[in-house]
Chains A and B, each alone.
Chain A
Amino acid sequence: MIRKTPFFDIHEKLGAKIVEFAGYYMPIQYRSITEEHRRIRKSVGIFDLSHMGEIMVGGEGAWQFVQQAVTNDITPLGIGQVLYTCMCYPDGGIVDDLLVYNLGDEYLLVVNASNIEKDFDHLKSLRKSDDVTLTDLSEATALLAIQGPDAEKVMAKLTDYDLPSIKYYWSAVGEIAGIEMMFSRTGYTGEDGFELYFPAENAKTIWDAVMRASAEFDGEPVGLGARDSLRLEMKYALYGSDIDQTTNPLEAGLGWTVKLDKPDFVGKKALMDIKEIGLKRKLVAFELAERGIPRPHYPIMSGGVKIGEVTSGIFSPMLEKGIGTGYAAAESSGIGTKIEIEIRGKLIPATVIKPPFYKSGTRR
């Protein structure tokens, strides 16, 4: 059965184009993906991200358990700090990419909607003793993201909390629009922004308050179409497109989330071997030199030979050209390498660039 977020009726009333995404009916756009995209870069917009999964790890052994499950190192995390990481299988393939919130006694894992059950089962399989508790809070949790250079101004209308004291990738607990909740200065757009976690039953109250607060800053709801184009302009990876169980974090350009000097974690041995042998392919970011839009599975070519496939591609609303990512043979992955993308039988010249594509984001 396809699920609905607590904001579904609101999206429908607003006339959003609704599509099935990761098992949920989600708004892909309200009016125009391009317009919504530019709104986030220029002022502020609101995303319903309630489809995302939230898994709470508690108990005496929580720290050790999370440290063992993820590739990044949670040791330096202060209370309230947020960490982006991968979680791998023993063979180095990626189970998911996620955020880890250090809430003090507990750790909140925010995972991709398409992976909630899989991640929960994976974590259960890693749980070796009863000093660790795992709770799937996904259904009961609503998530709104306020993103854009004016996000803090919108938040200031909703709370007395000292917002400038919250640094990027830190969270806090406070009253937002009269509801006590956990919120963080995080996002997936390359702009400043906040993500608000609250009980699903408060959905309408919070939505209305956020919309009222954002109105004077030209804020409007933004759909998943723009979320995809915004994240790709930053070359943020998307699970299911750029990364999955058949790819490893090293070739995906996520080596910075893999701390091989940690005593142990799931996938460490395999990732050390992969690093030792050397990468055969790398996730490259490329820009088309001519008109065209690269789309998933289009061949990446070099000198008439196929060297890989596009995993994500869009027409960039900010650069106004076709941009994309894809795995290319390691020898063709260097910055500045000339490649071609085969678009319906035509070879379109492209260049491997140093990410991000969009370099003027307020946070990256």
Chain B
Amino acid sequence: MIPDNLKYTKEHEWIKIEGDIAVVGITDYAQGELGDIVFVELPGIGAPVLNMKPFGTIEAVKAISDLFSPLTGEVVEINSDLESDASVINTDPYGNGWIIKIKFSDRGELDGLLSAADYQAVINKV
């Protein structure tokens, strides 16, 4: 289950570009690997994020993982529904389980993101 209309990173994030805003979440593969997600630690609105640097953590029953920002920019929105129930990332990773929205500042970084086919290749290698 890898939607064609999204971009991806090798760290298993998905990115949906809406103008100069990038919606970011983790892939179905990533949620499956993590298992039951209990909560996420996210930066505040306005916080700067850097291309391929951690911006938060995602904590599952059996594992903890860093969340990597796919782009450089500023956090403009976080999914506040995750505060009360982060398991929506397990059940709807590409929809209601989105994590943050970034206003990105370097359009050139988009070229570094993976297509659905590229990402499929990354998973196949795991």
Beta-carbon contact of A315 and B38 below 8 Å: yes
Which of A25-33, A206-214, A274-282 lies at the binding interface?
Answer: A25-33
Q: CB-defined interface of B96-118 with A at 8 Å, one 1/0 digit per residue?
A: 00000000000000000000000
Interface size class of A (residues with CB under 8 A): 10 to 19
Give which listed residue, A225, A291, A295, A314, contacts B35 with CB less than 8 A: A225
Beta-carbon contact of B39 and A34 below 8 Å: no
Judge if A172 is at the interface, Cβ distance under 8 Å.
no
Give which listed residue, B39, B62, B64, contacts A225 with CB less than 8 A: B62
Closest chain A residue, CB of each to CB of B90: A32
Judge if A293 is at the interface, Cβ distance under 8 Å.
yes
Judge if A4 is at the interface, Cβ distance under 8 Å.
no
Give which listed residue, A291, A314, A344, contacts B61 with CB less than 8 A: A314
B67 to chain A, nearest CB (A): 13
For window 272-300 of A, CB contacts with B under 8 Å fall at: 291, 293, 295
The residues of B that contact A229 with a CB separation of less than 8 Å are 61
The residues of B that contact A225 with a CB separation of less than 8 Å are 35, 61-62
Beta-carbon contact of B59 and A293 below 8 Å: yes
In whole angstroms, how far apart are the Cα atoms of A344 and B57 in the complex? 11
A315 to chain B, nearest CB (A): 5
Closest chain A residue, CB of each to CB of B38: A315
Judge if B11 is at the interface, Cβ distance under 8 Å.
no
Judge if A364 is at the interface, Cβ distance under 8 Å.
no
A85 to chain B, nearest CB (A): 30
In whole angstroms, how far apart are the Cα atoms of A21 and B114 in the complex? 35
Tell whether A32 pairs with B35 under 8 Å between CB atoms, given A293-B64, A295-B64: yes
Judge if B77 is at the interface, Cβ distance under 8 Å.
no
Judge if A17 is at the interface, Cβ distance under 8 Å.
yes
- Chain A CB within 10 Å, residue with most, of B57, B61, B90: B61
Judge if B36 is at the interface, Cβ distance under 8 Å.
yes
Beta-carbon contact of B62 and A28 below 8 Å: yes
Closest chain B residue, CB of each to CB of A292: B59
Beta-carbon contact of B64 and A29 below 8 Å: no
Beta-carbon contact of A32 and B39 below 8 Å: no
The residues of B that contact A315 with a CB separation of less than 8 Å are 38, 59, 61
The residues of B that contact A17 with a CB separation of less than 8 Å are 35
Beta-carbon contact of A33 and B61 below 8 Å: yes
Beta-carbon contact of A32 and B36 below 8 Å: yes
Beta-carbon contact of A29 and B35 below 8 Å: yes
A10 to chain B, nearest CB (A): 21
For window 73-92 of B, CB contacts with A under 8 Å fall at: 87, 90
The residues of B that contact A34 with a CB separation of less than 8 Å are 36, 61, 87
For window 1-60 of B, CB contacts with A under 8 Å fall at: 35-36, 38-39, 57, 59
Q: CB-defined interface of A336-347 with B at 8 Å, one 1/0 digit per residue?
A: 000000001000
Closest chain B residue, CB of each to CB of A28: B62
The residues of A that contact B36 with a CB separation of less than 8 Å are 32-35
B99 to chain A, nearest CB (A): 17
In whole angstroms, how far apart are the Cα atoms of A295 and B60 in the complex? 11
- Chain B CB within 10 Å, residue with most, of A17, A33, A293: A293
Give which listed residue, A28, A291, A314, A344, contacts B39 with CB less than 8 A: A291
- 8 nearest CB pairs, A to B: A315-B38, A34-B36, A33-B61, A33-B36, A32-B36, A293-B59, A315-B61, A291-B39
Q: Could you list which residues of chain B lie within 8 angstroms of chain A, going by C-beta atoms? A: 35-36, 38-39, 57, 59, 61-62, 64, 87, 90
Q: List 19 A-B contacts (CB under 8 A).
A: A17-B35, A28-B62, A29-B35, A32-B35, A32-B90, A33-B61, A33-B62, A34-B36, A34-B61, A225-B61, A225-B62, A293-B38, A293-B61, A293-B64, A295-B64, A314-B61, A315-B59, A315-B61, A344-B57
